[in-house]
Amino acid sequence: MFDVQPMELVVLGTVALLVIPPKDLPKAMRVAGYWVGRARGVARQFRSGFDAMVRESELAELQKQWAEENARIMAQHPMPAIAQTEPEPPAPAALEADAAAPSDAPAMVEQPAIRDLAADGETATPKPKRKPRAKPVPPA
């Protein structure tokens, strides 16, 4: 886009030293860098938007080609007609027989064992055992 040669940079630096006092030069360079960054960001956004538009147009063109090719193939090889018959609904007696039939596997194989905690001398929530505190060593 903008091609800046090294000699042009030297000329710009010399002019900047002559026009801008040395104490304001760092601030001027920061402002120039800020605006160059903003210009690059705008150019990047423009380029990405343009690339997205190109991709969308290519995708639309590919979809159009695919539709034409699909139509050509379907014209060459037509699908056989499939008989559109609806299956007969099941008889009400068959539905009642299915609902009354038990399932093959039982829901629960055996009863779980239930213990009485009070009879075993345990509490419902056992308290955690604490470690004894270490005694502080007196200074010598």
pLDDT score recorded for residue 123: 59
Domain annotation covers residue 135 = no
- pTM equals 0.39
pLDDT score recorded for residue 48: 94
Domain annotation covers residue 10 = no
**Domain limits at 54?**
22-76
pLDDT score recorded for residue 119: 65
**What total number of domains does the chain contain?**
1
Residue 139 tokens, joined: 């200074």
Domain annotation covers residue 82 = no
Per residue, what are the HEC states of 2-66?
Answer: CCCCHHHHHHHHHHHHHHCCCCCHHHHHHHHHHHHHHHHHHHHHHHHHHHHHHHHHHHHHHHHHH
- Give yes or no for residue 117 having a pLDDT over 80: no
Domain annotation covers residue 41 = yes
Question: In angstroms, what is the C-alpha Rg of the chain?
Answer: 42
Per cent of the chain over pLDDT 70 is: 68
Domain annotation covers residue 57 = yes
